[in-house]
């Protein structure tokens, strides 16, 4: 494949994948600017090896780069307060989190999860990735994905139940 063909194929992939990747990055980082940076960094790393990436595994490759970039960023800096209003959803594709109130509620629910738990929940349930793919993308066993997802979902249920109980008082 020539460089022009490779560039064209990469540009088509980016155009198709950008909205979904940006939403996933926002769910991970809770910050629209950091989400943009995460996606751009992941795509830049992937572009370098684009000739070696098979088309059918491109999403997995980029997801892994995105999650690794997010986890690395959490190690380097202290958390910044979330500005939910600053996130401007890209409405070119419909997704499960298109309304601002739903995004705010979801990001607030995901906030107490650790970076690994949040990564697994976003990959597994938001991006609808299989347990095997999540394990491969994160470099962990399927059992780790299952147990981490189970703990994360239990924490989410508990937090949601607490919130619901407090609202009905």
pLDDT 10s digits, 138-165: 889 999 999 999 999 998 888 777 766 6
For residue 154 the two structure tokens come to 């239990």
Q: What is the pLDDT of residue 100?
A: 61
Q: What is the pLDDT of residue 6?
A: 84
- Is domain 3-84+98-167 classified as CATH 1.20.140.160? yes
Q: What is the pLDDT of residue 166?
A: 64
Q: What is the pLDDT of residue 106?
A: 76
Q: What is the pLDDT of residue 92?
A: 44
For residue 136 the two structure tokens come to 């491969």
Print the SS3 string covering the chain. Answer: CCHHHHHHHHHHHHHHHHHHHHHHHHHHHCCHHHHHHHHHHHHHHHHHCHHHCCHHHHHHHHHHHHHHHHHHHHHHCCCCCCCHHHCCCCCCCCCCCCCHHHHHHHHHHHCCCCHHHHHHHHHHHHCCCCHHHHHHHHCCCHHHHHHHHHHHHHHHHHHHHHHHHHHCC
Q: Where are the domains of the chain?
A: 3-84+98-167
Under-50 pLDDT residues of the chain: 80, 84, 86-94, 96-97
d(CA 90, CA 57): 24
């Amino acid at each position: 494949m020539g460089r022009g063909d490779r560039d064209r194929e990469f540009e088509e992939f980016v155009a198709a994948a950008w909205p979904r990747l940006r939403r996933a990055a926002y769910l991970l980082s809770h910050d629209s600017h950091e989400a943009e940076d995460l996606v751009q960094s992941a795509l830049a790393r992937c572009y370098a090896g684009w000739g070696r990436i098979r088309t059918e595994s491109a999403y997995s490759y980029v997801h892994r780069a995105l999650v690794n970039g997010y986890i690395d960023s959490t190690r380097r800096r202290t958390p910044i307060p979330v500005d939910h209003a600053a996130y401007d959803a890209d409405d070119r594709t419909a997704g499960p989190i298109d309304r601002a109130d739903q995004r705010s509620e979801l990001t607030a629910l995901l906030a107490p999860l650790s970076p690994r738990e949040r990564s697994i929940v976003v990959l597994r349930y938001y991006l609808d990735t299989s347990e095997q793919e999540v394990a491969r993308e994160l470099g962990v066993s399927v059992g780790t994905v299952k147990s981490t997802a189970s703990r994360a979902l239990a924490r989410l249920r508990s937090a949601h139940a607490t919130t619901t109980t407090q609202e009905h008082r």
